[in-house]
Structure 1
Amino acid sequence: MDERTVITIGREFGSGGHEIGMKLAEKLGIKCYDKELLELAAKESGLCEELFASQDEKPTNSFLYSLVMDTYSLGYTNSYVDMPINHKVFLAQFDAIKKLAERESCVIVGRCADYALEDNPYAVSVFIKASLDERVQRIKRIYELNDSKAADLIQKTDKRRASYYNYYSSKKWGEAKSYNLCIDSGLVGIDGAIDMILKFIELKEKNMGKDI
Structure 2
Amino acid sequence: MAANTVITIGRQYGSGGREIGMKLAQDLGIKCYDKELLDRAAKDSGICQELFEHHDEKPTSSFLYSLVMDTYSFGYSSAAFADMPINHKVFLAQFDTIKKLAQEESCVMVGRCADYALSDFEGAFSVFVHGDMDKRIRRIADKYNLSDAAAKDKIHKTDKQRASYYNYYTSKKWADADSYDLCLNSSVLGIDGCVEMIKKMLEIKKRVIK
- 1:115-134 deviation per Cα after TM superposition (whole angstroms, max 9, x unaligned): 00011110000000001011
- Could you tell me how far apart the structure 1 residues matched to 2:33 and 2:14 are? 18
Which whole-Å CA distance do the structure 2 matches of 1:64 and 1:83 have between them? 11
Q: Is the 8 A contact 1:58 1:163 kept in 2?
A: yes
Q: Do the aligned residues in 2 keep the contact of 1:41 with 1:92 (CA within 8 Å)? A: yes
**Mapped partners of 1:54, 1:105: distance in 2:** 28
Q: Which residue of 1 aligns with 2:67?
A: 67
How far residue 10 of structure 1 moved from its aligned partner, in angstroms, is: 0.2
Paired residues for 1:159-178 under 5 Å? 159-178=160-179
8 Å contact from structure 2 (residues 3, 122) kept in 1: no
**What SS class does the counterpart of residue 202 from structure 1 fall into?**
helix
> Aligned-pair RMSD on alpha carbons?
1.2
Secondary structure at the aligned position of 2:7 is classed as strand
Residue type at the aligned position of 2:71: Y
Is the CA contact 1:65–1:87 (under 8 Å) kept in the aligned structure 2?
no
Tell me the distance in 2 between the aligned counterparts of 1:84 and 1:51: 12
Equivalent residues in 2 for 1:33-182, closer than 5 Å: 33-69=33-69, 71-72=70-71, 75-77=73-75, 78=78, 79-182=80-183
How far apart in 2 are the matches of 1:63 and 1:52? 18
Identity among equivalent positions (%) equals 63
Is 1:15 matched up with 2:15?
yes
SS where residue 109 of structure 2 aligns? Answer: strand
Do 2:6 and 2:108's aligned partners in 1 also have CA atoms closer than 8 Å? yes
Q: Which runs of 5+ in 1 are unaligned?
A: none
Q: What is the aligned partner in structure 2 of residue 188 from structure 1?
A: 189
Q: Counterpart of 1:134 in 2: which secondary structure?
A: helix
One-letter amino acid of the structure 2 residue matched with residue 118 of structure 1: S
Query: Relative to structure 1, is the Cα distance of residues 87 and 143 closer, same or farther in structure 2, using a 3 angstrom cutoff?
Result: same
Deviation for aligned residue 1:3: 6.5
